[in-house]
Structure 1
Amino acid sequence: MGDPHRVGIIGVGFISQAYVRTLAHHPRVRITAVADLDPSRSAALAATLPSARAVPVEKFLESGIETVLNLTIPAAHAPVALDAIGHGLHVYGEKPLAMSPADASTILETATAAGLTVGCAPDTVLGTGIQTARAFIDGGGIGRPVAASAVMVTPGHERWHPQPDFYYRPGGGPLLDMGPYYLSALVHLLGPIRSVTGAASRPRDARIIQTGPRAGERIPVEVPTHVTGVLEHAGGALSTVTTSFEAVRTTAAPIEIHGETGTLAVPDPNRFDGDVRVFPLGASAWQPVPIAAGYVGAARGIGLIDQISSGVPRASGALALHVLDAMTALLRSAEEGRRIALTTTAERPEPVPLLTAEDWSAGQDH
């Protein structure tokens, strides 16, 4: 396999721990540098890694790494990515790729011109849940797919998050926060999106923090907190999407795919696994679909391993741009009251074959 690929982490927030658990002992990866605006956080993380050292942010891109794992705040995603590309480094980042499709396009165009690779979360779509559902659809298990529904509802993150302000500011809201999981899954399952029509509402002007030292504090709501819309896929299927911080619970499956000969219930795309079920035409009950594809036991960071292993990431920057384009177009459609054709597209990523945890954790994933 050659020498391990040298990865540097910038941004040592909560999500960094999930990535480290996946990457720290993978034979194809060596985390060699860690940087954060708070040096104490980067030092603490580096101390837990056998080959890493904490470096100042201004020295990070010159620390001998090959790929930047960009875990900074969303507003910093584009500047950090472009700086890394300017230093000749590959990039893999947390979602979103950038705050706007224009900035995301600039990242991809700059990387392509430099012969560099860009990947982006979510990589949950590479797990057994979405990949098994995709394999079943592609194998004709429900006939020709004609429609889908995707539902994500929660009463609001202020109920559990001690600092929920950013969820209710521009760049936040239920669609931009959780939509990448659902729309990325729909592209894997049904192909790219051609156009969107959206509607949105903001029933409340303020929320009350319910936990932590700021409990009882009112925070303003500046963005729509219930967004719904229809995605027209290039292949002809229509997906109805609902994301909400206004609903308590739903009985619907996170994603359902309706085909001419059956309906497929798809598990939560914010998870890597979960049960896939089918209700065939003429049946009297749901039936389980055996696991047939995907990285078994995967966790956050599998997308970076996939990128390093293949050089053509399934959790690609191109897919992240397309999903961002669809989400921002949905919000614009809701505001303007019209159907909007997307200016981007993305090929369905290559399917993931069934790969056991022993295979991919040992570096035998391709």
Structure 2
Amino acid sequence: MTGKSKRPIGIGVIGCGNISMTYLRNAALFSGVELKACADISADMAALRAKEYGIRAETVDGLLADPEVDLVLNLTIPAVHYDVTMSALSAGKHVFTEKPLATTAAEGRRLVAEAASRGLLLGSAPDTFLGAAGRRARRLVDEGAIGRAITGTAFMMGRGMEHWHPNPQFYYQPGGGPVLDMGPYYLTMLVNLLGPAARVMAMATKGQEERLITADGPYKNTTFKVGTPTNILSLIEFRSGATVTFGASWDVFRHSNHPIELHGTEGSIRLPDPDTFGGTVSLSERGADWRDFDSDGELYGARNWPFAAPDRANYRMLGVADLVRALETGEAHRASGDLALHVLEIMEGILASGVSGTSVAIEGSVAQPRLLGEEEAESLLAPAKAAA
């Protein structure tokens, strides 16, 4: 479906949990999209979201059959991402899914192939790399501010979920763990800046065999067995020749490692948490003092989320708006299924290397996403928002 759209793209949301409120709220920011319907395994939850945002509550089958729904926004739990996305593609709908694309690379490849065979667009979170901080870092790297990237580090480290989540057990079982849960944010940003990966090596351990739930809820003060590594250190070799250490851990109380740093022949750059659209990017040219580029006043960088994280810039839905623009122009969209598949292959390779103790080649590749220029980024806004 390319060419000029005659009407806004109708969006149907499947999965009405907490993350859906972010997407539903942010939809009003962007042009070319119109919320139509929502569905959930819980009819009550779908009815609640429908009332909050003035859309129809439908069954999943009803939403997939709805002629006003052009694109399905898949916000279900990771275990059913594949089934819901495949069903939506089979129904002739474009899809944008929350991360990960699927729980295995084999499933991800089937989804990408299915979308291509049907002439449909498939996109996937995270789209955070399209925020102000990600765009600034990409421009600096593209302009040669650090020269040729040689090495770097990326760290996602914390204490895990059991101190705040009432039933965190699933995070610590196969298919969970810090790499699959949080890796997409870091690895997508690295691929955006450095291009595709070629090879990975990793070591994986468990900090504890059992963990104690201290969060309020029905399982408070009970323990559960850990079924997947919670502390992974990996080395990623990119096709460009750059090598980056990526650490992901739920066994760290406190640390001072920067989320992402890259070092090249002309200088160094550091990035904020890639799970947000904003934050400060810093540049050191040939060893000079860090020069900070704050994003608070920049497009998709301002702190805008008044609820659980008031210090965050949260513009989830930006990747959907970019996909919709691709439907109009025929150009490649950026938070694509191809990109998400490559990141999934990297994560699967890291976990496999942690088991085997040997390096794992990343067989697939992907084109580095096009830089989202400032003029195009602004054009994605709804007219009233762009004029504000």
Say yes or no: TM over 0.5.
yes
What are the Cα deviations for residues 126-179 of structure 1, in whole angstroms up to 9, with x where unaligned?
101111111101101111111110001001111111121111011111111100
Amino acid at match of 2:337: G
Evaluate the alpha carbon distance shift between residue 132 and residue 46 of structure 1 in structure 2; reply closer, same or farther with a 3 A threshold: same
User: What is the aligned partner in structure 2 of residue 303 from structure 1?
Assistant: 319
User: What is the aligned partner in structure 2 of residue 256 from structure 1?
Assistant: 261
Q: Report how many aligned residue pairs link the two structures.
A: 363
Q: Give the secondary-structure state (helix, strand or coil) at the position aligned to 1:257.
A: strand
Shift in Å, 1:49: 2.3
Contact 1:43 1:54 in 2 (8 A): yes
- Matches of 2:13 and 2:156 in 1, distance apart? 30
Q: What RMSD over aligned residues (CA atoms) do the two structures have, in Å? A: 1.9
Evaluate the alpha carbon distance shift between residue 220 and residue 53 of structure 1 in structure 2; reply closer, same or farther with a 3 A threshold: same
Amino acid at match of 1:257: L
Contact 1:24 1:49 in 2 (8 A): no
- Matches of 2:325 and 2:21 in 1, distance apart? 22
- Aligned counterpart for 2:236 among listed residues 231, 243, 247: 231
Amino acid at match of 2:240: G
Evaluate the alpha carbon distance shift between residue 357 and residue 336 of structure 1 in structure 2; reply closer, same or farther with a 3 A threshold: closer
Amino acid at match of 2:246: V
What are the Cα deviations for residues 72-117 of structure 1, in whole angstroms up to 9, with x where unaligned?
1111111111111111110100001111000000001011010000
Superposition pairs of residues 1-366 of structure 1, within 5 angstroms: 2-24=6-28, 26-50=30-54, 52-64=55-67, 65-213=69-217, 214-283=219-288, 285-289=289-293, 295-297=300-302, 299-311=315-327, 312-354=332-374, 359-362=379-382
Amino acid at match of 2:275: N
- Matches of 2:285 and 2:126 in 1, distance apart? 30
Q: Give the secondary-structure state (helix, strand or coil) at the position aligned to 2:200.
A: strand
Q: TM-score, normalised by structure 1?
A: 0.95
Contact 1:225 1:246 in 2 (8 A): yes
Larger mean Cα displacement after TM superposition, 204-213 or 170-179: 204-213
- Matches of 1:355 and 1:178 in 2, distance apart? 30
- Matches of 1:134 and 1:117 in 2, distance apart? 24
Amino acid at match of 1:334: G
- Matches of 2:249 and 2:299 in 1, distance apart? 29
Q: Give the secondary-structure state (helix, strand or coil) at the position aligned to 2:7.
A: coil
Shift in Å, 1:57: 2.0
Shift in Å, 1:202: 0.8
Amino acid at match of 1:352: L
Evaluate the alpha carbon distance shift between residue 182 and residue 41 of structure 1 in structure 2; reply closer, same or farther with a 3 A threshold: same
Contact 2:27 2:33 in 1 (8 A): yes
Shift in Å, 1:296: 4.2
What are the Cα deviations for residues 33-66 of structure 1, in whole angstroms up to 9, with x where unaligned?
110010011011111223x210112322001210
Shift in Å, 1:262: 0.9
Q: Give the secondary-structure state (helix, strand or coil) at the position aligned to 1:22.
A: helix
Q: Give the secondary-structure state (helix, strand or coil) at the position aligned to 1:253.
A: coil
Shift in Å, 1:19: 0.5
- Matches of 1:125 and 1:143 in 2, distance apart? 21
Shift in Å, 1:290: 6.1
- Matches of 1:110 and 1:37 in 2, distance apart? 25
Amino acid at match of 1:247: V
Evaluate the alpha carbon distance shift between residue 234 and residue 294 of structure 1 in structure 2; reply closer, same or farther with a 3 A threshold: farther
Contact 1:120 1:316 in 2 (8 A): yes
Contact 2:206 2:229 in 1 (8 A): yes
- Matches of 1:212 and 1:30 in 2, distance apart? 38
Q: Name stretches of at least 5 consecutive residues in structure 1 with no aligned partner.
A: none
Shift in Å, 1:196: 0.5
Contact 1:227 1:242 in 2 (8 A): yes
What are the Cα deviations for residues 280-333 of structure 1, in whole angstroms up to 9, with x where unaligned?
2242x2111365987444511111111111233211100110001000111101
- Matches of 1:256 and 1:81 in 2, distance apart? 34
Q: TM-score, normalised by structure 2?
A: 0.90
Q: Give the secondary-structure state (helix, strand or coil) at the position aligned to 1:141.
A: coil
Amino acid at match of 1:10: I
Larger mean Cα displacement after TM superposition, 90-99 or 291-300: 291-300
Larger mean Cα displacement after TM superposition, 138-147 or 351-360: 351-360
Contact 2:95 2:121 in 1 (8 A): yes
